[in-house]
Amino acid sequence: MPDSKETKGRKGDHQNVARAAQVIDIIAASGPNGLRMTDVTERSGLGGSTVHRLLAGLIEHGLIDQDPETNRYLVGLKMVSWTAAALSRYGLAPYADASLERLCAATSDTVYLSYRSGNDAVCVDRREGNFPIKTLTLALGDHRPLGIGAGSLSLLAFQPEDDRRRLLAEDAVRRATYGFDTAYLEEKIAETRERGFSLNDGKLISGMSGLGAPILRRDGTAVAALSIAAISSRLEGERLTELSQMLREEAQTLASRASDVLDAELVKRHSFRKVQT
């Protein structure tokens, strides 16, 4: 079977790394039930012997586990420690915990923390409130094109103008799969910049809405965002006004407390790095 598009044309060590990363991505996307080897082979486009060799190596190094009862493959525990290291790479996580907890307790809704990574917003933390109807629209590690979702929109809106234009031009096709066109996003960006927060009023998922507020560096560029997701009826009228103010205040408090971290060169370099898609 020929190599998949992700690995085709890469040679030697780079090809091996690309194939291993592809297999981990496929298994991670499968959720808690995992995949059979035949599933991984089919989805990767790699040969059966190649997949078998990759899986054996990944298991040996703790990156993939195999359920002894079902023989299905799942993400390994070593990935947990790697994830923890990645979440702490900016040093922002210790500052964000208090804001996330306060917002979750005050609203009873789901609260998210997202970072910008290249052309994407990445969900790096989530707290679930005690309201009976959950709006779990993002899982940890989920990527979306900038502009898709409340937190992601607030990240896009507070990028430098030239960068916003580039992002709008480059990612039009990806955003279209979510039902977002450039004209709509330009309108929402202007609205977000004027208000200081973003509102996704059921555009992404019918009946579910979200608020987002950017976490800004001193130069006014968003590096991260806080967001609240709830059923649409809980983000209307006075409650919308109250929660948007609360969200903005927490984002500003977090930005102020973590200003030295947010302005670090490492954050700046990472935030503008191109994500492979």
Question: Which of 57, 76, 95 marks a domain boundary?
Answer: 76
Q: Are strands 222-231 and 64-66 parallel, antiparallel or unpaired?
A: unpaired
What residue has token string 């001193």? 218
* Residues in the chain, total: 277
Output the DSSP codes for 60-120.
HTTSEEE-TTT--EEE-THHHHHHHHHHTTTS-HHHHHHHHHHHHHHH-SEEEEEEEETTE
Verify that 126 and 71 share a domain, yes or no. Answer: no
Output the average pLDDT for the chain.
84
Q: Are residues 123 and 149 in the same domain?
A: yes
| Averaged pLDDT for residues 248-262 | 87
Indicate whether 259 and 163 sit together in one domain.
Answer: yes
pLDDT tens, residue by residue, 215-230: 999 899 999 999 999 9
Answer yes or no: is pLDDT of 275 > 50: no
71 lies in which domain range? 15-76
In a domain, 28, yes or no: yes
Q: How far apart are CA 165 and CA 208, in angstroms?
A: 28
* Separation CA 71–CA 271 (nearest Å): 39
Indicate whether 51 and 92 sit together in one domain: no
The set of residues, in sequence order, having a beta carbon less than 8 Å from that of 126 and lying 6+ positions away, is: 110, 111, 112, 113, 136, 138, 139, 140
Mark whether 117 and 236 lie in a shared domain. Answer: yes
Q: Total domain count for the chain?
A: 2
Provide the angle, in degrees to the nearest 10, between the axes of the packed helices 48-60 and 37-44: 120
* Cβ contacts of 196 within 8 Å, gap of 6 or more: 213, 248
pLDDT classification of 194: cutoffs 50, 70, 90:
very high
pLDDT of residue 157: 97
What are the pLDDT digits (tens) for 85-104?
Answer: 665 555 676 788 889 999 99
199: in domain: yes
Q: How many CB atoms lie within 10 A of CB 205?
A: 15
